[in-house]
Amino acid sequence: MVWNELDFVVAGGGMVGASAAVALTRQGRRVAMVERSAPPDAHMPADRQLRVSALSWTNIRWLQTQGIWAHVDKNRLGIYRHMRVWDARSGRQLQFSADFSRQPALGVIIENQNLRQAAWQCLTDGGVEVLVPDCIDKLDMERASRGRRAQIKTRANGVLSTHRVLAADGSASATRQLAGIEVSAFSYGQEGIVTYVTLEGAPEETAMQAFAPGGPVGMLPAGKPGLFSIVWSVPDAQVEALLHCADDVFGQRLEEAINHPSLGFSLKVIASHPRAVFPLRKQLAATFVSGPVVLAGDAAHVVHPLAGQGVNLGLQDIAALVREMQGISWRHADEVALALRRYARQRLSQAKEAAELMSLINHVFRDDAHIKSPVRNLALQAVQSLSPLKHWLMRQAGS
C-alpha cells in the first residue's frame, strides 16, 4: 500500500466500519482501515453472544450485493416473518407480516460478532489494508482545507495521506473529537438489560415487543426453537436488582412485565442465561461532514434500541455514501463536495427522524400517566386499522 495515495481511511472496524471498507473498495477506492482492537476470530464461539441486531431485509439485500452476506454463519440467524407489538398494561396489540411477494421475511436477528466477522472475511479477501491494533492520534484539518490530501498520524503505523477519513469508530468516536464535531446527547434514564431466555408459548418466526411499565421489552428469535434474545429497557433505579437477581426471580419479573390476559397467548420463561447491561441514550452529531471527515454509524447517531434501528441506520449511511460517490473523481473537487453535502443532508435528516420517533414512542409508552393511556390505545388501534399508516411504519423500519 502506498500510504500517500489513499482515497479513504476508515476509522473503526466494527460492523459498520468494516462493511464500509468493503463497499468502498468494491467501488474501486483505495482504502485502509484502522482498528484499535484485535481482529475477530475466524469462527464464531459456541456460546451465543449477548449483543445482537435486527437487520431489515433492505440491508440484507445490500450486504448480499457487497459479498458480505455470503460469509455470515446462517445457522445462527433468527429469521422473523412476523412481528407482534403490544401494550402490556392494556393488551392492545399490533401485528405485522412480511409482504411475501417482495421478500421472504421482515428481517433477521444476528449476533453483532457474526456480521463483523463476515465483513472482516471480505476485508482480507478484497485488498483492504487493515492496520490493527492501531488508532488515529492526530488529524491535520488545515492541510485538507487547502485542497490537499488530509494527513493523519496513527499510533503504530505513522503518517497516512488520504482524501477522506470515514469515522465509524463508535459513539465515543475519537476521530469525531479530533475533527471538532460537536454532539447533542440525552440520557433516557434507562439501561438495556440483554440476555437470552427460552420461552414457552411464543408464536413461531415472530419478533415481539411488549411496552411494559418503565420501558419496552424486545423478544427476538435467536434461531433455535423457543430461544429469544431479550433487550429490556429498564429505569436506572431498577437495573441492579434485575441484573443480579436469581434466574427464577428474573424469569418471574419478565413474565409479569410482558404478559396480558387479552393477548391470546401466554409467555412462560423456562430457562434464562447470563445478563449484561448497557446505557441507553440519544446522541446526534451536529454535522455528518466536516472538512475531510465523514461520520457514519454510531459516530454520527445513537437512537433508542426499541425498534432495532441502530445498525440499520449505520448500514444505510454506508449505502448512501457509496451511492453518492459513485463515478465521482477526486479531480473534481466541486462534485465531491456536492456529493458529500447530499450525503450529510440526507443521512442527518433520516437520523433525526428516527431518533425523535424512537424518543416519542419511548416517552408515550414508558409510564402510566393518566393522559398517556388513552393516547397509547388510540395510537395502537389506528395503526392496526389503517393499512397505509402500518405500511409507512414498516418502511420507516427499512423493511
Map out the domains of the chain with their CATH numbers.
Answer: 6-44+113-184+282-358 (3.50.50.60), 78-110+189-280+368-396 (3.30.9.10)
Q: By C-alpha distance, which of 335, 322, 232, 334 is closest to 276?
A: 232
Is pLDDT at 379 greater than 70 in this prediction? no
pLDDT, position 1: 46
The predicted model gives 117-129 an average pLDDT of 90
Least confident of 35-49, 235-249, 296-310, 360-374: 360-374
Q: Distance between terminal CA atoms of the chain?
A: 39
Is pLDDT at 350 greater than 60 in this prediction? yes
Binning pLDDT at 50, 70 and 90, where does residue 92 land? Answer: confident
Per cent of the chain over pLDDT 90 is: 67
The predicted model gives 260-283 an average pLDDT of 92
Per cent of the chain over pLDDT 70 is: 87
Q: Distance from CA of residue 277 to its chain's centroid?
A: 17
> Do the beta carbons of residue 26 and residue 67 sit within 8 Å?
yes
Q: How far apart are CA 207 and CA 22, in angstroms?
A: 30
Is pLDDT at 316 greater than 80 in this prediction? yes
Residue appearing with cell numbers 439501561: 191
pLDDT in tens, 143-200: 665 667 889 999 999 999 999 999 999 999 999 999 999 999 998 899 999 999 999 9
The predicted model gives 205-230 an average pLDDT of 93
pLDDT, position 168: 98
